[in-house]
């Protein structure tokens, strides 16, 4: 019989605390529950979340997601029926400047002789917001609770892009860090979008950095499984992530007598691995990866899930970098804590 949600939470918190007694810095003293996509997980201590840099609102950036000191979060991706940009580092005045430029482009496009180059204003239905639609895209800008948020949906059918934009805008609300909303919807950094539990596209990957151990980053990905995805086993996907997809280092050495071990994420059997990472500058770090592949044909949503915990020693401040053993124990506790929100 499925255990109650409160019992799972107790188990996750207990296992996490018991798993990491050797970390003497106090970074893991107070576990926090957070949500990402349609899932929630336990973060071992207060953490900063990587957000969009303000300049990315004006033009594309190679790495648009960073922490407050500009440390890059290259894995972060915020896609839910369209692409999001979210920052808490933009003043209301600067937001007004960005918005003014967007309004000007929409207004001046009316003179275009090319249908694909014309845009129109669509109802936003809330203060401090502006929504637009074009030939194959629609989107909005909104400033809420000290955050600048933008969204863009693309579709070959203009009406579909508009419908997705308005649905996201209607369901969107600000949330505090560690606030776990109730009901169906998707969690983004400091944002929640309420919905009816379904979506056309979802690839929500958020990167956290422990405040008392800034050498440790935690990346969690909730990715909708699609019928067009390559048919990979969890082990094959793990090999691809370490070797190619994420560009973690120039050399990866998996460790352990059995490098590919069975792991469970949200009650599903996947694979976990631990690694020694040789960075591009020849420094040595450690990493842990746990993942499970989804099923696009399952009757209920069964997405791809991924937990990547890395040590990057050059970002350690005040405390010595965590050891390989500490990182591994911490990461296993995080992976074990992953649960659907709300349970299906």
pLDDT digits (tens, 9 = 90+) for 169-200: 999 999 999 999 999 999 999 999 999 999 99
pLDDT of residue 274: 98
* 8 Å CB contact between 339 and 3: no
pLDDT of residue 158: 85
Topology of domain 1-31+214-344 in CATH is Protein Transport Mog1p; Chain A (3.40.1000)
Q: Which helix (H) or strand (E) holds 33?
A: strand 32-36
What is the rounded distance in angstroms from the CA atom of residue 292 to the CA atom of residue 343?
18
Is pLDDT at 13 greater than 60 in this prediction? no
pLDDT of residue 22: 40
User: What does pLDDT average to over the chain?
Assistant: 90
pLDDT of residue 344: 59
pLDDT of residue 49: 98
* 8 Å CB contact between 286 and 275: yes
User: Of 199, 201, 202, 181, which Cα lies nearest the Cα of 190?
Assistant: 181
Is pLDDT at 6 greater than 90 in this prediction? no
Task: Tell me which of 5-9, 137-141, 294-298 is least confident.
Answer: 5-9
Q: Could you tell me the pLDDT band of residue 4, with boundaries at 50, 70 and 90?
A: very low
The arithmetic mean of pLDDT across residues 10-29, rounded, is 41
What is the rounded distance in angstroms from the CA atom of residue 336 to the CA atom of residue 165?
35
How many residues belong to the chain? 344
What is the rounded distance in angstroms from the CA atom of residue 10 to the CA atom of residue 113?
62
Is pLDDT at 19 greater than 50 in this prediction? no
* 8 Å CB contact between 169 and 133: no
pLDDT of residue 29: 52
Token look-up 């991924």 returns 306
What is the rounded distance in angstroms from the CA atom of residue 332 to the CA atom of residue 119?
49
Is pLDDT at 1 greater than 50 in this prediction? no
Is pLDDT at 18 greater than 70 in this prediction? no
CA 35, 37, 39, 45 dihedral sign is: negative
Q: Indicate the domain borders of the chain.
A: 1-31+214-344
Q: What is the pLDDT of residues 279-290, one digit of tens each?
A: 999 999 999 999
Q: What is the pLDDT of residues 241-250, one digit of tens each?
A: 999 889 899 9
pLDDT of residue 343: 66
Q: What is the pLDDT of residues 126-174, one digit of tens each?
A: 989 999 999 899 999 999 999 999 999 999 998 999 999 999 999 999 9
Task: Tell me which of 60-74, 94-108, 112-126, 215-229 is least confident.
Answer: 112-126
Respond yes or no on whether the N-terminal peptide bond of residue 37 is cis (omega within 30° of 0). Answer: no
Q: What is the pLDDT of residues 74-102, one digit of tens each?
A: 999 999 999 999 999 999 999 999 999 99
Task: Tell me which of 101-115, 185-199, 213-227, 318-332 is least confident.
Answer: 101-115
* 8 Å CB contact between 183 and 175: no
């Amino acid at each position: 019989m499925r255990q109650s949600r409160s019992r799972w939470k107790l188990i996750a918190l207990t296992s996490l605390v018991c798993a990491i007694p050797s970390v003497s810095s106090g970074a893991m003293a107070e576990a926090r529950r957070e949500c990402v996509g349609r899932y929630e997980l336990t973060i071992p201590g207060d953490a900063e979340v990587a957000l969009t840099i303000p300049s990315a609102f004006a033009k594309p950036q190679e790495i648009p997601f960073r922490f407050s000191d500009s440390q890059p979060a290259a894995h972060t991706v915020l896609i839910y029926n369209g692409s999001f940009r979210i920052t808490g580092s933009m003043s209301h005045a600067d937001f007004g400047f960005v918005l003014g430029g967007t309004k000007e482009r929409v207004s001046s496009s009316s003179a275009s002789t090319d249908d694909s180059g014309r845009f129109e204003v669509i109802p936003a239905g809330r203060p401090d917001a502006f929504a637009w639609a074009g030939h194959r895209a629609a989107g909005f800008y909104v400033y809420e609770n000290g955050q600048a948020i933008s969204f863009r949906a693309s579709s070959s059918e203009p009406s579909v892009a508009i419908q997705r934009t308005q649905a996201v805008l209607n369901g969107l609300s600000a949330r505090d860090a560690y606030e776990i909303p109730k009901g169906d919807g998707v969690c983004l950094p400091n944002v929640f979008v309420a919905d009816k539990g379904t979506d056309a596209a979802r690839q929500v990957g958020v990167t956290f950095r422990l405040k008392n151990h800034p050498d440790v980053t935690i990346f969690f990905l909730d990715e909708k499984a699609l019928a067009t995805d390559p048919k990979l086993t969890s082990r094959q996907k793990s090999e691809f992530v370490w070797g190619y997809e994420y560009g973690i280092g120039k050399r990866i050495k998996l460790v352990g007598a059995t490098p590919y071990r069975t792991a469970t994420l949200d009650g599903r059997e996947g694979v976990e691995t631990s690694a020694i990472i040789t960075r591009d500058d020849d420094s040595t770090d450690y990493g842990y990866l746990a993942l499970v592949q989804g099923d696009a044909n399952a009757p209920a949503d069964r997405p791809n899930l991924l937990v990547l915990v890395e040590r990057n020693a050059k970002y350690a401040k005040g405390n010595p970098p965590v050891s390989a053993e500490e990182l591994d124990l911490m990461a296993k506790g995080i992976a074990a804590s992953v649960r659907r929100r709300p349970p299906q």
